[in-house]
Amino acid sequence: MGKNNEKCPRLAFMCSGNGSNAKAIVNACERGTLDANPVLLVSNRVSAKALEWGKKYGLPSVVITNEKDQLKILRDNDIDWVILSGYLSIIGSDILNGFKVVNIHPSLLPRHGGRGMYGMRVHESVIASGDSITGATVHMVSDEIDQGKILGQSTIEVYESDTPHSLSERVLDEEHKLFPKVLSSILLTLPMKTCLKCRETKPFSDYGKNRSKKDGLQTYCKECNREYYYYGHFLSH
C-alpha cells in the first residue's frame, strides 16, 4: 500500500457501504498527494462493498461489529487517524478518546446535519428547504452527531433541475476531492515533539499517551519505546 513509510500517520477506515471516500484517500496515498499509510479497513456489515475493493488494494479488511474488538484492532495496528467513510453507526467514547476520528458529511454543516441526516435524506432536505447552495464538510467526530470541529468545506450550486439523486452524485464528486485535500492540509500542520532518546522531532501521533505528562504524551517516541521494552525484557531474563 502506497509508500509504506512508517513515519507517516497510520490510517484506518471505517465503512458501512461502498466506502468511496476511503477509496479516494487510498488513491491519493498511492499517487503521493497524501503522505499517509492506509493500514486497515473495518466494516460493521458483511455486505459492505468496501471490503471487496479493500482486499483488491491489499488493505487488510475485516468485519467487526463489537466496539471492544474494534478498539483492540485499532490499537494493535498503532492507528493514528480513524477515517469514517459512510459509517452508519455511532462511534463510542473509547474510540473517540483514543484516536483522532474524522468524518465527511454531504452538506454544509451545521445545515442538514444531526441524527437521522445521512445519505439521500440530506439531499432531499436540501432541495425541500430551497437552498441555492450545498456541498460537503470534513469535520472531527465528537460525542454529538455532526457537531465536531469543521476542518474544511466545499460548495456547489443547487440547480432547479436537481433531484436528490443528481445532487448526491455532484456532492459525492466534491467529497472525493475535498477529503484527501483536507487530510493533507491537516497532516502538514501536525504538532511536533522531540524524542529524548533518538533526538528526532516527530509528530504527536508518533508518541504514546501518558496523562501524567504535561503534554499528555510519553517522553520517548513509539519506536524508541518498543526498543526500550524489547531490550529491557530480554536483558532482565
Tell me the catalytic residues: 105
Q: Which residues contact 211 (CB under 8 A, 6 or more apart)?
A: none
DSSP strand pairing (192-194 vs 150-157): unpaired
Q: Which residues contact 136 (CB under 8 A, 6 or more apart)?
A: 104, 105, 106, 107, 108, 153, 154, 171, 174, 175, 178, 179
**SS3 state at 24:** helix
**SS3 state at 208:** strand
**Residue pair 49/19 in contact by the 8 Å Cβ criterion:** yes
Q: Which helix (H) or strand (E) holds 137?
A: strand 133-140
Separation CA 40–CA 62 (nearest Å): 8
